[in-house]
Amino acid sequence: MTTYTPMIQQYLKIKAQHKDAFLFFRLGDFYEMFFDDAIVASRELEITLTSRDGGSEERIPMCGIPYHSAENYIKNLIGKGYKVAICEQVEDPKSAKGVVKREVVQLITPGTVMEGNMLTDKENNYLASLSAFDDGTFVVAYNDLSTGENHVTQLSGGLDAVISELFNRSVKEMVVDSKLPEQYQNELQQRLQITFSTHDNVTIQKEDEQLTQDLHQEKMIQAFARLINYIRLTQKRSLHHLKPAQIIDLNEYMTLDMFSKRNLELTETIMRKGKHGSLLWVLDQTVTAMGARMLKKWLERPLLKKVQIEDRYDLVEGLLQQFFERESLREMLKSVYDLERLSGRVSYGNVNGRDFIQLKHSLSKIPDIKNLLSTFASEKVQALSPTIDPLTDLYDLLEQSLMNDPPVSIKEGGLIKDGFDGRLDDYRDASKNGKKWIAELEQREKQETGIKSLKIGYNRVFGYYIEITRANLHLLPEGKYERKQTLTNAERYVTPELKEKEALILEAEEKSVELEYELFIQLREKVKAYIPKLQYLADQISHLDVLQGFATVSEVNDYHRPALNEGRKIRIEKGRHPVIEKVMQQVEFVPNDVHFDDKTDMLLITGPNMSGKSTYMRQLALTAIMAQIGCYVPCDKADIPVFDQIFTRIGAADDLVSGQSTFMVEMLEAKHAITNATENSLILLDEIGRGTSTYDGMALAQAIMEYIHDNVRAKTLFSTHYHELTTLDNTLDRLRNVHVRAEEYNGNVVFLHQIHDGAADESYGIHVAKLAKLPQQLIERATDILADFEQKDTPAKGKVTDDQQQLSFFVGESSEKKQKKDFKKLDTELLRDLQSLNIMEMTPLEAMNVLYRLQKKAKQD
């Protein structure tokens, strides 16, 4: 340190306190970065890397950005998962003795951004904290700093349950205990791919006690304290907009694990990771940012209480019945700005005049919305009107105080209306009259001197001046004015009288600007007192927006109100997949019925690839989710139960992040379903067992079906290419076979996408290969091989399946026979070890360890 200059020493001391963040070090009009920060930032921001002398022998790497355009650079870094510490000068350089004092005034992280251009309007920006306890429970606390929301939930299903919970939220950053086991930290980072921070203070501060008023468990208070203390540490400013923490009771919502949320593409698609093509994309007919965020939250947590769901149906029905009134409501809501985030900006202190105009404009629409709701025929819709507070006194305050088109800056005047403050009016009058006197002086001097081009101007260096061109200097009487400045083509002068007026005018303007800033700060403090009411109003408007969106999408797409039964029967008539029918608008979607009576728990679905098995399965799950968030559903008629959980194993792919193969992912998802499902759950299993050899896969598929049928008894859709499994309806009394119809016409297959009772009679695998335009030579060879196989006896019951054909084609028919012989040679003790294993109860790590031990033993034998 002693070899560096005092300024660089100061930089290094501050940087040592913020090692995991870029330090934006204020030097004049720039934020500078040095050493490694400069090297990385120059690469990430694509700015010039230079160097400077810092007192050491080697020059120090340096890069910088203008402070007035720093916001976009910060946004870029935050978007990439970095943190930025803003270090400002905190004393006047004129009065500083030595190096100007500097401090970090704010730490901006992915989970704590507040600036509008760094946030996505229709998504929450969550910061989460995780606390682990000795009894095996975890507590997760959430905060969205931009809206003030705080939530806490407790989980007891291990780290997998934590990951599924966090996967359901738009979490941008996580705060954990520095002593959290490294294994946990690594797995969380690998699976969630978000920014991690550590904080160990779990003592709630006095100023935050009111935020924990609804938390009755010490665990929850500690977990929330970790979160709020981290926010206080990083933000260093007012947080009056934070709402009391609300407990999320997971028993009140349908459980959707990360596999199901991903496989069903509820909020984003698997391939493109975007909203387009997801269920959210179809349902989002909201017209406010607040409503869009609430819809996403509802979709992530479908309800379990029938009364709450029916209440939403009633409101949707009331809004659906009156088209013109609903359209008027939509138009009014479009004029309501983001009240939640405006409240946050007021509390945070970064609100400006234009934000207040948006707030005023929004409040001006609330009385009209109240009146319109009271005109609906539905009593439930009418009942919403009296509960809405239009905050008339706040509207009046903003109307009386603010200019209609204020500037962005709050320090340059032009904010406050005339008549709002007497002192401000006096200053403005003095300034206005002074300028009028200047204009009159200019006319008088022109007449006295006869110089028509004479003018009185102003600049910040010399103040007011009289300017006369060189061509007219001979007309100016000697000694009339005092020379002030000489230009190439003119001379500038002043008079004692002009200087006197200048002092009065500038003083009035300076005091006017200062007073306007003071009045604006006072106004901000007055508005701050309304934040709880504004947040409640925002919640009401959000609910209304989501419900009108449900009514709109239901009318446009011909959705109908479902009936919720107390039993376990499912009857859907002409059900449709909401996303696929929207994407394929040029092609008519083929609807299908779904029927589970009290004697049926499982449908075994057979049929060729591309025929619609997965679509049929997904549309049932999406229909259930839509029903339980309070939306109408895509069918002619629906009578369904309330599902407590939905589990899916559809369309798995290699999980490269965690190093798991397709088959391992398949088994993990299947295990998760059968160990957590209840008889009130819905399970979708697509092509289980295809990731291994034919006999292994078929054996596993049958065992899983039998286990679910006998032990779990959840409503289950199971699709397969193993035609041998269709005979299970003889032994499993609550299983029913269905198939997807396909017809062969002139040597080509036509998929009808219709579900019928009974098992499929063919797989049409070669026809699908033909549709995929594989080489004709290959198609003909496969046809010959198929004919040859069908003439031979096979070791399995029934005829050869497509999977067996493909295995023989690529691997060789003798491989499975050889495999059987090899197994017979195994030592009997090794066989006993294998038979004693309970694979479905193992973690992946445990399975790998056991496999390693068995392999080692086999090699020794």
**Residues near 615 by Cβ (< 8 Å), separated by ≥ 6?**
577, 580, 753
Question: Burial, 62: exposed, middle or buried (Cβ in 10 Å; 0-12, 13-18, 19+)?
Answer: buried
Q: Do 549 and 446 reside in the same domain of the chain?
A: no
CA-CA distance, 540 to 387, in Å (whole number)?
9
Same domain for 681 and 737? yes
332 annotated as a binding-site residue: no
For the chain, give the number of residues. 861
Place of tokens 């003018």: 455
Write down the pLDDT at residue 747: 63
pTM here is: 0.84
CB 23, CB 14: distance < 8 Å: yes
Number of Cβ within 10 Å of residue 478's Cβ equals: 4
* pLDDT of 795 higher than 60: no
Asked if residue 430 and residue 358 are part of one domain, the reply reads: no
CA 370/CA 389 separation, integer angstroms: 9
* 625 and 487, same domain (yes or no): no
Q: What is the pLDDT of residue 324?
A: 97
Asked if 653 and 665 count as a contact pair (C-beta separation under 8 A), the reply is yes
* Residues 174 and 322 placed together within one structural domain of the fold: no
Is pLDDT of 658 > 60? no
Sign of the CA dihedral 393, 396, 401, 403? positive
pLDDT on residue 97:
85
β-strand partners of 155: 138
Pairwise pLDDT comparison (724 vs 546), residue with the higher score: 546
587 and 722 in a common domain: yes
Same-domain status, 96 and 169:
no
Indicate whether 254 belongs to any domain: no
φ and ψ of 271, to 5 deg: -75, -50
What is the arithmetic mean of pLDDT over 158-184? 91
642 located within any domain: yes
Per-residue pLDDT at 460? 81
Q: In the structure encoding, which two tokens stand for residue 401, read together?
A: 């105080």
Q: What is the pLDDT of residues 139-170, one digit of tens each?
A: 999 999 999 999 999 999 889 889 989 987 88
The domain boundary residue, chosen from 747, 762, 777: 762
Q: At 42, is the pLDDT very low, low, confident or very high (cuts 50, 70, 90)?
A: very high
For 578-635, how does the pLDDT look when each residue is reduced to its tens digit (9 = 90+)?
Answer: 999 999 877 889 999 999 998 999 999 998 877 889 999 999 999 999 999 999 999 9
Give the mean model confidence (pLDDT) for residues 23-39: 96
Bridge partners (DSSP) listed for residue 490 = 469
Known binding residue 609? Answer is yes
Question: By C-alpha distance, which of 679, 616, 606, 684 is closest to 259?
Answer: 684
Contacting residues for 510 by C-beta, under 8 A, at least 6 apart: none
**Could you tell me if 511 and 480 lie in one domain?**
yes
**Domain ends where: 187, 222, 248?**
248
pLDDT at 655 over 60: no
Residue 693 labeled ligand binder = no
Percent of the chain's residues with pLDDT above 90: 69
Tokens of 120: 């996505």
Position with higher pLDDT, 482 vs 798: 482
Confidence check: pLDDT of 841 > 80? no
Pair 338, 289: CB distance under 8 Å: yes
Provide the token pair at 264: 């069903």
Say if residue 250's pLDDT is above 70: yes
CA angle, 695 as apex, 690 and 696 as ends, to 5°? Answer: 65
Q: How confident is the model over 372-404, as pLDDT tens digits? A: 999 999 999 999 999 999 999 999 999 999 999
Residue 821 has pLDDT above 50, yes or no: no
Q: From residue 632, how far is each of 51, 112, 591, 621, 629 by CA, in Å?
A: 63, 36, 16, 14, 9
Helices (H) and strands (E) in the chain, counts: 28, 27
- pLDDT bucket at 813, cuts 50 / 70 / 90: very low
CA 206 → CA 145, 215, 236, 629, distances in Å? Answer: 20, 15, 16, 38
Sequence-distant (≥ 6) Cβ neighbours of residue 654 within 8 angstroms: 660, 661, 662, 665
* CATH at 479: 1.10.1420.10
Residue 774 counted as domain residue: no
Over residues 533-551, the pLDDT tens digits come to 999 999 999 999 999 999 9
Q: Domain count of the chain?
A: 6
Of 731, 762, 793, the one marking the end of a domain is: 762
Say yes or no to pLDDT of 816 above 70: no
Q: Which of 351, 365, 348 is nearest to 287 (CA)?
A: 365
Q: Is 432 annotated as a binding residue?
A: no
Contacts of 720 (CB under 8 A, 6+ apart): 604, 605, 606, 687, 688, 689, 701
306 within some domain:
yes
Q: What per-residue confidence (pLDDT) applies to 657? A: 42
Q: Are 481 and 466 in contact (CB under 8 A)?
A: yes
334 is a domain residue:
yes
Of the listed ranges 353-357, 364-368, 658-662, the one predicted with least confidence: 658-662
Greater model confidence, 519 or 805: 519
Query: Binding residue per annotation — 610?
Result: yes
732 and 601, same structural domain?
yes
Tens of pLDDT along 294-344?
Answer: 999 999 999 999 999 999 999 999 999 999 999 999 999 999 999 999 999
- Annotation-wise, does 612 bind a ligand? yes
Alpha-carbon span 644 to 305, nearest angstrom: 10
Confidence of residue 815 (pLDDT cuts 50, 70, 90): very low
Residue 749 has pLDDT above 90, yes or no: no
CA dihedral over 678, 254, 162, 212, signed as positive or negative: negative
For residue 23, list its beta bridge partners.
85
For range 104-115, the mean pLDDT: 94
Classify residue 834: in a domain, yes or no: yes
* 195 close to 81: Cβ distance less than 8 angstroms: yes
* Residue 787: inside a domain: no
Q: Give the model's pLDDT for residue 374.
A: 97
644, 680 in Cβ contact below 8 A? yes
329 sits in which H/E element: helix 323-334
pLDDT of 238 above 70: yes
Cα angle value 41/47/52 (rounded, 5°): 80
74 shares its domain with 181: no
Would you say residue 660 has pLDDT above 50? yes
Name which residue leads in pLDDT, 223 or 653: 223
Q: Report DSSP state, residue 147.
A: T
The CATH number given to whatever domain includes residue 713 is: 3.40.50.300
Q: Cα(505)–Cα(508) distance, rounded to whole angstroms?
A: 5
Tell whether 85 and 204 lie within a shared domain: no
**Mean pLDDT taken over the chain:** 89
Task: Count CA atoms within 13 Å of residue 5 on its CB side.
Answer: 12
Report the distance separating Cα 369 and Cα 291, nearest Å: 15
One domain, residues 378 and 459? no
- Mean pLDDT lowest among 269-273, 355-359, 672-676, 847-851: 847-851
Tens digit of pLDDT for each residue in 431-472? 888 889 999 999 999 999 999 999 999 988 889 999 999 999
Q: Report if residue 797 sits inside a domain.
A: no
Cα angle, residue 71 at apex, residues 68 and 77 outer, rounded to 5°: 135
Q: What is the domain extent for residue 728? A: 563-762
Strand order in the sheet with 563-564: 563-564, 637-640, 570-575, 592-596
Give me the pLDDT at residue 356, please: 97
Q: Is 614 annotated in some ligand binding site?
A: yes
What SS3 state is found at 499?
helix
Confidence of residue 840 (pLDDT cuts 50, 70, 90): low
Whether 283 shows a pLDDT value over 60: the answer reads yes
Q: Predicted confidence band at 652 (pLDDT cuts at 50, 70, 90)?
A: very low
Q: Stretch 564-585: mean pLDDT, rounded?
A: 94
For residue 121, give both structure tokens: 């309007």
State the pLDDT confidence band at 56, using cuts at 50, 70 and 90: confident
Q: How far is CA 212 from the centre of its chain?
A: 25
Q: Say whether 69 counts as a known binding-site residue.
A: no
Say yes or no to pLDDT of 799 above 70: no
Backbone angles phi, psi at 63, to 5 degrees: -145, 160
> Domain holding 56: CATH number?
3.40.1170.10
